[in-house]
């Protein structure tokens, strides 16, 4: 749903970091709690990058599961597909999210030749 | 075939299907040395947060609100949960006590802004239509664009009525002090589990349309149990914007927000105002 505007932000970052070089792959790390639908992001990227110097590049997504660490017993628990933010050890709810909120461009893979446009 | 490369820790693998699982939780990945192992072109490390630009603008908004001494609540819900009706009731009760400004997100129309215009509050409308059918959320730059249309220095409280949507608005910090949700019992008990990010990000959940409880078979305990699974610390208020039940408690919360010290840190989570 908001993948379209996210692709706009991605295009800004990639354009700046590529500095005119042709990009083949944009590696994106997405946490489970980021509510980004991978297929939608990939599709929206085709729309947003079309007719730009980034046309033909694709987004590759590295998914990161959500995990919490209990502040009482220190156990790390997977949040799971049906999310429950309770400790798998003691059942406590006082926990911090240790992974799953990532959303960043990790790297670009360049085509090895200068973009023509 | 995948693209083989080697990490600092000596592992070599292909970038292809299955890559996601390999890297789950691999914090060292970002610092890996890829030189000499790429089969195609060069690899450029980026490590930039995709929301960085939005968050920079959100920080600027937050600074501007702080300088003006105004508190800001980002109000979110599904379409039809009753945000605008509740806001109308709210403005009527706070008139003459709390100086309220409204930032109104609406995909195409001024219908909600028109409904609120009669209550004496300053209303700045943001139409989010952009040629792609409209944005599904407000982001920090959109809110920033509305600020010149509000007399911030003359206000105590700004209420941002976000676009009706349980997914996207949760992702965008707009510079608010607190987030609150309006949740209608017509939406069912399971929604906290389906939209955990939204429910987790709110300090307060206003459970609206409780006048319909006798007719719906809504399992309030089940709903509250689901809410606690994803957000154990959210405050909950039972409200009917239509009958006025509970609206005073919500207005008291807003009054407390308007006069309380700024919470600091992220706008989400935890009890506030103190």
Express each pLDDT in B60-114 by its tens digit: 999 999 999 999 999 999 999 999 999 999 999 999 999 999 998 876 777 777 8
The answer to whether B240 faces chain A, any CB pair under 8 Å, is no
Work out the angle at residue A89's Cα, subtended by the Cα atoms of residues A87 and A92, and round it to the nearest 5 degrees.
40
Residue of B nearest to A108 (CA): B44
Cis omega (within 30 of 0) for bond into B273: yes
E strand or H helix that includes residue A31: strand A21-31
Q: What tokens appear for B172 in the block? A: 């965008």
Q: Residue B134: its pLDDT value, please?
A: 65
Please, which pLDDT band fits residue B132 given cuts at 50, 70 and 90? low
CB pairs under 8 A between A and B: 125
Contacting residues for B255 by C-beta, under 8 A, at least 6 apart: B94, B97, B98
CA distances from B246 to A85, B74, B115, B156, B241 (A): 29, 20, 21, 22, 8
In chain B, what residues touch A106 (CB-CB under 8 Å)?
A: 29-30, 45-47
Q: What is the ipTM of this complex?
A: 0.87
Q: Which residue does chain B place closest to A6, by CA atoms?
A: B50
Whether B3 contacts chain A with CB within 8 A: yes
pLDDT, averaged across chain B? 83
Residues of A in contact with B50 (CB under 8 A): 6, 9-10, 13, 28, 103-105
Tokens linked to B126: 């943001």
Residue B24 has pLDDT above 70, yes or no: no
Domains of chain B, CATH where assigned: 1-47 (no CATH), 53-259 (3.40.50.300)
Strand partners, B184: B208
Query: From the CA of B270, how many Å to the nearest CA of chain A?
Result: 11
Q: How many CB atoms lie within 10 A of CB A114?
A: 9
A65 contacts on B by Cβ (under 8 Å) = 24-25
- Give the residue-averaged pLDDT of A53-73: 96
| Residue A69 exposed, middle or buried by CB count within 10 Å (0-12, 13-18, 19+) | middle
CB contact under 8 A, B230 and A84: yes
Contact A83 B229 (CB under 8 A): yes
**Predicted confidence (pLDDT) per residue in B260-270, tens digit:** 877 654 444 44
Nearest-CA distance from B162 to chain A in Å?
A: 14
State the pLDDT at residue B30. Answer: 41
pLDDT in tens, B175-222: 999 999 999 999 999 999 999 999 999 999 999 999 999 999 999 999
Chain A residues in contact with B51 (beta carbon < 8 A) = 9, 103
Q: Which two tokens stand for residue B5?
A: 């490369």
Q: Please give, rounded to a whole number of angstroms, the shortest distance from the CA of B238 to a CA of chain A.
A: 23
CA distance B220 to B227: 10
How many CA atoms does the CB half-sphere of B63 hold within 13 Å?
6
CA distance A26 to chain B (A): 10
Among B44, B228, B229, beta carbon nearest to A107: B44
């Amino acid at each position: 749903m908001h993948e379209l505007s996210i692709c706009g932000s991605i295009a800004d970052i990639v354009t700046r970091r590529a500095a005119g070089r042709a990009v083949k792959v944009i590696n994106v790390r997405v946490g489970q709690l980021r509510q980004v639908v991978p297929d939608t992001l990939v599709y929206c990227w085709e729309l947003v990058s079309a007719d730009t110097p980034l046309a033909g590049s694709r987004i590759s997504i590295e998914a990161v599961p959500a995990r919490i660490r209990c502040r009482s017993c220190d156990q790390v628990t997977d949040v799971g597909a049906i999310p429950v933010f309770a400790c798998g050890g003691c059942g406590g709810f006082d926990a911090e999210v240790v992974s799953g909120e990532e959303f960043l461009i990790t790297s670009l893979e360049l085509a090895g030749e200068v973009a023509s446009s | 075939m995948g693209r083989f490369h080697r990490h600092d820790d000596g592992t070599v693998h292909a970038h292809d299907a299955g890559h996601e699982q390999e890297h789950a939780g691999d914090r060292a990945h970002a610092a890996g040395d890829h030189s000499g192992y790429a089969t195609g072109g060069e690899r450029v490390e980026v490590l930039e947060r995709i929301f960085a630009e939005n968050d920079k603008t959100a920080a600027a908004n937050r600074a501007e609100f702080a300088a003006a001494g105004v508190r800001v609540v980002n109000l979110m819900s599904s379409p039809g949960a009753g945000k605008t009706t509740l806001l109308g009731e709210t403005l009527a009760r706070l008139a003459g006590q709390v100086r309220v400004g409204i930032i109104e997100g609406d995909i195409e129309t001024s219908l909600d802004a028109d409904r609120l215009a009669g209550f004496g509050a300053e209303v700045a409308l943001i139409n989010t239509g952009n040629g792609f059918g409209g944005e599904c959320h407000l982001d920090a730059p959109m809110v920033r664009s509305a600020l010149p249309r509000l007399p911030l220095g003359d206000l105590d409280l700004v209420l941002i009525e976000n676009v009706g949507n349980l997914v996207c608005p949760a992702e965008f910090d707009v510079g608010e002090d607190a987030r609150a949700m309006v949740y209608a019992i017509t939406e069912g008990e399971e929604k906290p589990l389906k939209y955990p990010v939204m429910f987790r990000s709110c300090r307060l959940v206003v459970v609206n349309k409780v006048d319909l409880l006798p007719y719906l078979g809504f399992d309030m305990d089940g709903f509250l149990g689901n809410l606690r699974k994803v957000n154990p610390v959210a405050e909950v208020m039972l409200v009917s914007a239509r009958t006025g039940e509970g609206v005073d408690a919500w207005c008291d919360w807003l009054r407390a927000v308007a006069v309380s010290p700024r919470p600091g840190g992220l706008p989400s989570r935890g009890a506030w105002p103190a």
